[in-house]
Amino acid sequence: MTGAATVAPDARPAPPASRLPSLTGLRWVAALLVFGFHAGTMGIIAEPDHRAVVNWVFTLGLSGVQFFFILSGFVLVWSARPSDSRRAFWRRRIAKIWPSHVALWVLALLVAAWFADPVDRAVAVENLFLLQAWDPRPGAFYSINNVSWSLSCEFFFYLCLPLALPLVRRARPWALWTVVVAVPLLILALWPAQALVPEESRWWFTQIFPPVRSLEFWMGVAAAELMRRGRWRGPGLPVASLVFVAIWVVAAQWVRAELWAALLAVAYILVITAAADADVRGRPSAWRSRPMVWLGEVSFAFYLVHVLVMVTVLRLTGDWGTGFHGWWGLGAVLGFLLVNLALAAVLHRFVETPMMRLLSPRRPARATPPGGGAAAARLRPGESAPAASAVERGSPVPRPRHAEPERRPVYVDPPATAGRPRPRA
């Protein structure tokens, strides 16, 4: 969101920040948490002491999906275009997730055919169109490429957001704060509420069911809208990072599992908002480095491939269910990390990126640059606008040049400034 902003009497416009590269870097953290959790639960490491360390570090790693959901809601509201149509928004989101999903869907079916695994055709079709999270049968929501259940939830979020966004924009700050505070409490309430659901469907209800998982998404939505208006109040990135680490360690060591998701929702929203604020204000952020931004860009592809790759290799080598002994276990985990990262880079380069360019609607032409039409007039017929700036490419946002005491900015969309680059969820 850029800041040719409308400013309150006591506020100053934020530095330009069309993109939030720190949030792109944080996407890699979320993907790595999920990878570590699956590496531990798949039994890749046979050595008990080594396995215990990995399991302790990544005990809460499954919450990386929760991180994704909160981050997605935040980024989509921050990057929403005033002149955008619902159809254009939906088309961009489908172009983002569906081609890579289809590629992995086909690959997973080929692997199933190789091992002669039975495949329910109806469930496969359900999975192809990202409807599997609505099916409470255990063989349905984790079907084909089992991590794609979260895409089914995201698809539901994408359908809802353009319908709800006008209400979000008009909501009073107290209503937005109510959402932020209420979500952890509602997550806690799910544990007693699941008694109303048949026992065989309780995992699906609390962990998979899209309306339930949308709570985290709406938390990100409300926080982003508060930050746009300059109404968010939270710690800076160093303090938020320390709070996150403290919550992670305390929860893993001493807190009951029923409380994990609620506590981590608080930790994640603090880190996300602090990282976004660091980008807007031009403050230091380790998550904005070029390696972290690149890792964040391939994190979606990494998430899609990692389980299928690890399970397939373990089955081919005969180590599924037994793992690797000695230091070979940790070596195998590191090897899987690097192989999955390489395959994710290929998927991102040759499927995700080109299909987004092909299927996404074209963006409106850029606004005339400052200085009247002189700059535009220098373009010859057929020439395009200048190349993307460093901010658009994900480089650190520039620091503000003024030296006056810093005041809290109000991030409000300028009227009808279409065509600016936006962060990707």
- Give the ranges where 229-352 is alpha helix by DSSP (H): 237-254, 260-281, 290-297, 299-317, 328-347
Instruction: Give the pLDDT of residue 310.
Output: 96
pLDDT in tens, the chain (425 residues): 333 333 333 344 343 455 899 999 999 999 999 999 999 888 898 888 888 888 888 989 989 999 999 999 999 999 988 888 999 999 999 999 999 999 999 999 999 999 999 999 999 999 999 999 999 998 899 999 999 999 999 999 999 999 999 999 999 999 999 999 999 999 999 989 999 999 999 999 999 999 999 999 999 999 999 999 999 999 999 999 999 999 999 998 899 888 999 999 999 999 999 999 999 999 999 999 999 999 999 999 999 999 999 999 999 988 787 888 888 989 999 999 999 999 999 999 999 999 999 988 876 554 444 444 444 434 344 444 444 433 333 444 444 444 444 444 444 443 333 333 343 44
Q: Are 130 and 151 in contact (CB under 8 A)?
A: yes
pLDDT of res. 376: 40
Q: What is the pTM of this model?
A: 0.82
pLDDT at 162: 96
Rounded-to-integer distance, Cα 130 and Cα 109, Å: 15
Place of tokens 């981050």: 71
Contacts of 132 (CB under 8 A, 6+ apart): 123, 126, 140, 141, 142, 143, 148, 149, 152
Which value, to the nearest 10 degrees, does the dihedral of the CA atoms of residues 206, 209, 210, 216 take?
Answer: 10
